[in-house]
Amino acid sequence: MASTSTRPDAGEVRHHDDVLVMLTSRNLLALAWYDAPRPGHLVTVLHVVDELHRKNGFYGLLNVVVRGTPSFPEQVRQEGRRLIEETTGWGGVTAHVMEVEGFAGTATRMFLSTMMLLGRGRSSNAQFFGTHRDGCAWLGPRLSKPERPWSAAELERVYADLRAIAPRPATRRPAAGS
């Protein structure tokens, strides 16, 4: 998919549905979750992370949980374990920005914390934040390469581009027996 902005450093939209919007910019994958992942979403994330790793070596994720119902079926949990296991040792850093509050935010944070524990040793490369500004400020120096540093302001622009892309309307599925 093409970029959604005329800025030369604007990200490229990599996935866009009613649950997840993903875009890449340089060595960054930015994700906005509008509901809990469905089977296949985390496999898609893994493919893009693998591509970023192969292209850049060092990569980062700005993982924004906007809203959603904290429901993680077994297939999604298995995909989450696979994502963590396959990327352990790749040198990535992740800022998890929890915009969802209350029970949904707590349950989502618990799910992500469990996945991080399975990665053994990656937890220092990932942090949780309540605001995108805090996440961008933390991620910038950790994501920077000597030849191309990231500023918090640049990461905030990527965040703004990501959030400007509305999730697609959910596809209505026919009722059983219809």
Q: Give residue 24's pLDDT.
A: 96
What is the CATH classification number for the domain harbouring 35?
3.30.750.24
Q: Answer yes or no: is 155 within a domain.
A: yes
Q: What single DSSP character describes residue 72?
A: -
Range of the domain at 116: 12-164
User: Among residues of the chain, what percentage have pLDDT more than 70?
Assistant: 84
pTM: 0.83
Which regions of 38-103 does DSSP assign to beta strands (E)? Answer: 60-65, 93-98
Q: Answer yes or no: is 156 within a domain.
A: yes
Q: Answer yes or no: is 172 within a domain.
A: no
Q: How far apart are CA 46 and CA 130, in angstroms?
A: 24
Q: Give residue 122's pLDDT.
A: 46
**Is residue 3 predicted with pLDDT exceeding 50?**
no
Q: Answer yes or no: is 169 within a domain.
A: no
Contact between 82 and 161 (Cβ < 8 Å) = no
Q: Answer yes or no: is 3 within a domain.
A: no
Q: Give residue 100's pLDDT.
A: 83
Q: Give residue 1's pLDDT.
A: 43
